[in-house]
Chains A and B, each alone.
Chain A
Amino acid sequence: MGSGDAPTRAALVEKARDIYDDLDFGAVRRWLADHPGRKAAGYLPVYAPREIMHACGLLPVGIHGGGDRLEIIRGDAFYQSYICHLPRSVIELAQSGRLDMLSAVLFPSTCDVIRNLSGMWKLLYPEAYVRYIDVPQTPDKGAAADFWESELRRLVRDLGRVSGHHPTDAELRSSVELYNETRAMVRALYTARRERPWDLPTEELYVLLRAGELIPAEEFIAMSRDYLAAVEAEPRRPRDNSRVVVVGAFCEQPPLGLIMSIERAGCYIVDDDFLLGNRFLTRDVPLDGDPVRALAEAFVSNDQRTSVLFESDPLGKKRLMKECVAAANADGIIFATPSFCDPALLDQPMLRAGAENASIPCIAFKYAENTGQFQQFREQAGTFADSIKLWGDA
């Protein structure tokens, strides 16, 4: 393709947004139609080993609920009012037949709600393969790696049965390599946004990442490469915005309108924990040796710190926000947390205390994935951005 044919930023964002907006998972269904005999496997937040699904010949499909575009009718009958919104919208998607193309669904150990949802899935959809993904929590790296390796081997075996394809070590290694590239691309996007947030608004980056969880990894990498090229070709002007980190949104995702409201209120989002599973492994997984062992060790030696993992360092929580803000060269933190989210809300007092001890400005609000009114968030974020600019150097 000649340079004159390079897709524009607008075209790429529109394409990504179409994929993200499509609650019938058209991209997944098209892939299945184009690949007769192949199957798809879903996974919920936060972290699931997509390499294993890919190596078994399955298309990994991120399930993040229906956001603000789905009317909940059946889902509410499954949950009390004080349970977060995500599981009810996931059930709504499933009960309305929108997830009927998934042959397997993985439920990571994010919280008790997702954990129990795995049992509900077993009862509701006995024909699907369902696995609760219990990641290691012990700080003993040897025991953790052995445990996680055995869990991954079980997944290889089980998903191989689902797909009918039992991968060789070479195929597993190849999938690890592909997802190393995927993660490298996500890191490149995040780095570019941190350096030039005016050029890579989060509302664009976010839909690109959401689409990336519904299409093959190769397509996501190509689309992201095109996007970065388009950004270079169409630079924008910096504004006098405040640089903020958004914390707490690693599971139930904020509506796009909330992200846009924060940005339009005068904040550049320069780091966040949206779709955290995309970059749960912060470094490349080694390609030498046994690929399953390499994946297990990469998880255990990983330096990702998040509310869904035990923090073994007593000072870890105190330092985390300060380190995060320093790395992103940010001015402040927005704790944006889904209502009733145990991991985020239980962590927040510790994280906020650490931030405030380091004199980092913070605000906090709660949302649900189907929140439809953004004015209050815009006002709060706007006031926050103004206060940083007015008083930030005081």
Chain B
Amino acid sequence: MAEALKDRSMVLQKEMIANHFARLARAPETGEPVVYTFVPGNLTELIRSFDALPVLPEINALQSGMRKLSGDYIAEAERAGHSEDVCTYVKCDIGMMRSGNLGPGGLKLPKPDLLLLSYTGCYTFMKWFELLREEYDCPTVMFHVPYQGDGVLEPEHRNYMLRQLKEQVIPALEKATGRKYDEDKLRHHLALSAKAEDDLVAVLQAGKNRPSPIDGYFGTVYYVGPIFSAFRGTEEGVEYYRALRQEVEERAALGLGPITPDGPLEGERYRLVVEGPPNWTHFRDFWKMFSDEKAVVVASTYTKVGGTYDFGFRHNPDDPLGTLADYCSGCYTNLNLPTRIEMISRYIEEYQADGFLINSVKSCNSFSAGQLMILREVEKRTGIPGAFIESDLVDPRYFSAANIKNRLESYFQMIDARRLGKTA
């Protein structure tokens, strides 16, 4: 297979991530504290304010998927008694740990000094850290983020989160790191977050251009990597998003399409909105099924799991703990189904999409349970027919290339037929 083409920002990101994992690998010698946490509702600025390094198990799992290691890791976990029915991120993570705990790049991951359980929009997170606590025998702190069942952040829920941050999370971080809470330092990191978020939103909204200079799903999972993981609230993060924005704006000014692994995409034919996470084990093949057809994803929901910045949220250094609560509550999977449907419908309208696709992953009920209802409602509201495909996050057994390709080809034909006025 030919080497995938990468744009400048991807090279920059690769260096950042490599440095981060090298620093993690050295943590047992340097004594830098390590905090494991999850992507949705991650408190990276707070962790950084204690000079601790974050580790995000979902990121490790998806990296294992992309590196074709997840199948063996999952098998390892299933041999140890984990069900074939449950989240493959969890099994991949546990299998990786039991296989030497080598992270992306092949460097050994350090043990956590603290498991910071940000329980945001995903039930499995709770079990995941209970399982890791058994493996690592380390402290765990639970941060319960109430679900937006009625589509709003209720004041009592915000107060509950603030209290947990003050009375549980911060003391746990103080104990794990041996450092005192420093609110000014947290404000500093939050200000950096807001800067990066401004640039990220400009990048995301570049998808409104015709042609779109970005792919709002396949390309954007790379773009959101730093802000969803270890780099929100850091100088490196700010620098990365500044560079990325510049790069994307240059492409937009020149009327260029997105970069794909096979080169620049020219002649955009289909503009799609995608709901649901991507498949990581066959990521490049999956992307190619779209790019071969000149289909560009102009907006997606998966790229909002670590924050819905494009609807206005920014971390606010003037309200350090309050803004963390607001952020956690507003992550995509913490929003109820009507809100998710509203958001997708809005994307279809604002980004002038002519198609809407759901990739339903077996592993993630937080996303998947209810997606057929989402499909039906979005079709009803927008008049745009949707498509539905199924795969998994990191279990290679659940990716049927022929099946997905057939469905996509049929769907693109349907869009063509609609354009010609051949169908309702």
* A binding-site residues for B, Cβ under 8 Å: 77-80, 82-83, 87, 107, 109, 111-113, 115-120, 122-124, 131-132, 134, 136-140, 142-143, 146-147, 150-151, 154, 307, 310-312, 314, 317-318, 337, 339-343, 345-350, 352-353, 366
Contacts and interface: CB of A to CB of B under 8 A. Distances in A.
Closest 4 interchain pairs by CB? A119-B337, A132-B149, A346-B127, A116-B370
Interface of B: 80-83, 85-87, 90, 117, 119, 122-124, 126-128, 130-131, 133-134, 137, 140, 142-144, 146-147, 149-150, 156-157, 160, 163-164, 167-168, 336-338, 340-341, 360, 362, 365-366, 368-373, 377, 390
A122 B337 CA distance: 9
A321 to B, nearest CB: 14
A366 B85 CA distance: 10
Contacts of A79: 369, 372
22 contacts: A80-B362, A80-B368, A83-B369, A116-B370, A117-B369, A117-B370, A118-B149, A119-B336, A122-B337, A123-B338, A124-B373, A138-B142, A138-B144, A138-B168, A150-B160, A312-B142, A337-B83, A345-B85, A346-B86, A346-B90, A347-B130, A350-B131
A119 B360 CA distance: 18
Contact of A311 (B123, B130, B368, B372): B130
Contact of B144 (A123, A137, A307, A349): A137
Nearest to A83: B369
A118 B151 CA distance: 11
Nearest to B94: A349
Given A119-B338, A346-B90, A134 B149 contact: yes
B167 A140 contact: yes
Given A122-B336, A314-B137, A80 B360 contact: yes
Contact of B119 (A310, A340, A347): A310
A334 B90 CA distance: 24
A87 to B, nearest CB: 7
A142 B159 CA distance: 13
Contacts of A151: 156
Contacts of B371: 80
Contacts of A340: 85
A78 to B, nearest CB: 5
A120 B377 CA distance: 10
A157 to B, nearest CB: 12
A352 B146 CA distance: 30
Contacts of A348: 81, 83
Nearest to A311: B130
A314 B160 contact: no
A350 B134 contact: yes
Contacts of A318: 134
A392 B249 CA distance: 72
A339 B83 CA distance: 9
A363 to B, nearest CB: 13
Contact of A143 (B167, B360, B366): B167
B107 to A, nearest CB: 28
A43 to B, nearest CB: 14
Contacts of B373: 78, 120, 123-124
A254 to B, nearest CB: 16
Contacts of B338: 119, 122-123
B364 to A, nearest CB: 8
Nearest to B149: A132
Name the prevailing secondary structure of the A interface residues. Answer: helix
B85 A339 contact: yes
Contacts of B86: 342, 345-346
Nearest to B81: A349
Nearest to A137: B144
Given A138-B164, A349-B81, A111 B337 contact: no
Contacts of B127: 307, 342-343, 346-347
Nearest to B336: A119
Contacts of B117: 310
Nearest to A139: B142
Contacts of A342: 86-87, 123-124, 127, 365
A118 B140 contact: no
A131 B149 CA distance: 7
* Residue from A107, A131, A154, A314 having most chain B Cβ neighbours under 10 A: A314
Given A111-B365, A118-B336, A137-B142, A349 B147 contact: no
B260 to A, nearest CB: 29
Given A122-B338, A310-B142, A342-B124, A116 B377 contact: no
A314 B124 CA distance: 17
Contacts of B133: 314
A260 to B, nearest CB: 25
Contact of A112 (B144, B156, B365): B365
Given A111-B123, A123-B338, A314-B133, A82 B362 contact: yes
Contacts of A312: 140, 142
A126 to B, nearest CB: 10
A343 B81 contact: no
Given A123-B377, A138-B160, 16 more contacts: A80-B360, A112-B366, A113-B369, A119-B337, A120-B370, A123-B337, A123-B338, A137-B142, A138-B142, A140-B168, A143-B160, A143-B167, A345-B85, A346-B131, A349-B82, A350-B130
Contacts of B137: 314
Given A138-B144, A311-B130, A112 B369 contact: yes
* Residue from A87, A109, A134, A154 having most chain B Cβ neighbours under 10 A: A134
A107 B371 CA distance: 18
A310 B140 CA distance: 11
B386 to A, nearest CB: 14
A352 B81 CA distance: 9
Contacts of A111: 123, 365
A322 to B, nearest CB: 15
A363 B338 CA distance: 41
A109 B128 CA distance: 17
A41 B340 CA distance: 26
A94 to B, nearest CB: 12
* Residue from A115, A118, A120, A340 having most chain B Cβ neighbours under 10 A: A115
B119 A137 contact: yes
Nearest to A87: B369
Given A312-B142, A317-B134, A78 B372 contact: yes
Contacts of B81: 348-349, 352-353
A310 B126 contact: yes
Nearest to B335: A119
Nearest to A122: B338
A318 B81 CA distance: 15
Contact of A116 (B143, B157, B164, B337): B337
* Residue from A116, A137, A350 having most chain B Cβ neighbours under 10 A: A116
Contacts of A147: 146, 156-157, 160
Given A117-B370, A143-B167, A346-B131, A112 B337 contact: no
B328 to A, nearest CB: 14
B149 A346 contact: no
* Residue from B117, B149, B368 having most chain A Cβ neighbours under 10 A: B149
A349 B131 contact: yes
A7 to B, nearest CB: 43
A117 B360 CA distance: 16
Contacts of A124: 373
